Amino acid sequence: MKPVVFFNSLAEKSGAVMPRGDYSTASDDYVVAQQWDVYTAEQHALWRRLYQRQAKLLPGRACDSYVEHLAHIDAAEGIPNLAAVSEALFRATGWRLVAVPGLVPDKVFFAHLAARRFPVTVWLRTPEEFDYIVEPDIFHDFFGHVPLLFDPVFAAHLQEYGKGGLKALTLGGLDFLARLYWYTMEFGLVKSSKGLRAYGAGILSSVGELDYCLNDQAPHRIRFELERVMRTRYKIDAYQKTYFVIDDFQQLFDDTTPDFTLLYQRLKTLSALSADSLLPGETNLSLANASLDDDG
């Protein structure tokens, strides 16, 4: 898809203005040069403030694998050089980072993931957007998504997701797969021996939701079940009403790898569920947080 067609379809879907990245130099796969030298001292300082504020919140909230891998990435002092991190990442899990101007078309996004390339937006939010930003910027994409690409099981799962995305486009399954991405990659929770932990990038890069998703009484926390997740609508402009909890990344890999053709057929016959629904027989883990280990 040519950038201008993509912009129009994005604007239609979101009712938003044009995406703010510079797409003029993007190649067919939407990859650009990061131009790391062009970031200003003020931008590096803003990154440092974002990083420090978020890093403080991670202990006891982010999952162990995320914390461990973030610590090995040299990104605390300023906006990271994607090429340098990409080299280290390739040695760890065979993934690479590619720089992109911002959101890219679904097909392009899935093709990158299927080839073990993770697209990272190059621009950083403004100081006015310190607390909240709608479009993903480099802080969200990098701080939120990149550390877990160093986890081999997580990385394997995301490649399968990319392959599944390419198939979904031919099967009319995109809306279902987008819900899966939303409730796992962006807003997923995982069990640990010490209680629930966050692994979704939307949570890990958010100053408010990182505590909210674990400690507020309001949202539902429900055991992850593939078909249930794919039926559940989501809001993009508020804290989530429901978080789905996986046992571990192996579960994500095992559930994402099979062919979804029959599942999509079935889902098309079922009504979608509202973001705050709780079905008969479902346990809200927020009411059973203390006894997670006895739960299943």
Catalytic center residues: 140, 145, 186, 205
Q: Which is nearer to ligand HBI, 202 or 219 (CB)?
A: 202
**Residues 110, 95 contacting (CB under 8 angstroms):** no
User: What's the min distance (Å) between Cβ of 52 and Fe ion?
Assistant: 21
SS3 letters for 40-68?
CHHHHHHHHHHHHHHHHHCCCCECHHHHH
Chain residues binding ligand HBI by CB under 6 A are: 100, 103-104, 106, 109, 119, 121, 136, 178, 181
- How many whole angstroms from its chain centre is CA 41? 28
User: What's the min distance (Å) between Cβ of 11 and ligand HBI?
Assistant: 14
Vertex 246, ends 192 and 76: CA angle to 5°? 65
For Fe ion (CB under 5 A), the number of binding residues is 1
Pick one of Fe ion, ligand HBI, none as the site partner of residue 201 (Cβ within 5 to 8 A by kind): Fe ion
Pick one of ligand HBI, Fe ion, none as the site partner of residue 109 (Cβ within 5 to 8 A by kind): ligand HBI
Here's the x/- map for Fe ion, 186-215, by CB under 5 A: it reads as ---------------x--------------
User: What's the min distance (Å) between Cβ of 231 and ligand HBI?
Assistant: 16
Of the CA atoms within 13 Å of residue 92, those in its CB half-sphere come to: 22
User: What's the min distance (Å) between Cβ of 290 and ligand HBI?
Assistant: 34
For residue 244, give the 3-state DSSP assignment.
Answer: strand
Name 267's Cβ contacts closer than 8 Å, sequence gap at least 6: 173, 176, 227, 230, 231
- Residue 258: both structure tokens together: 């099979």
Q: Which is nearer to ligand HBI, 116 or 191 (CB)?
A: 116
Pick one of ligand HBI, Fe ion, none as the site partner of residue 98 (Cβ within 5 to 8 A by kind): none
Question: Residue 189: enclosing H or E segment and its boundaries?
Answer: strand 189-192
**Using rule CB under 5 A, residue 138 touches Fe ion:** no
Residue type for position 151:
D
Rounded CA-CA distance 65/51 in Å is 18
- Residue 115: both structure tokens together: 């080839």
Pick one of Fe ion, ligand HBI, none as the site partner of residue 104 (Cβ within 5 to 8 A by kind): ligand HBI
User: What's the min distance (Å) between Cβ of 283 and ligand HBI?
Assistant: 28
Residues that bind Fe ion (CB under 5 A): 201
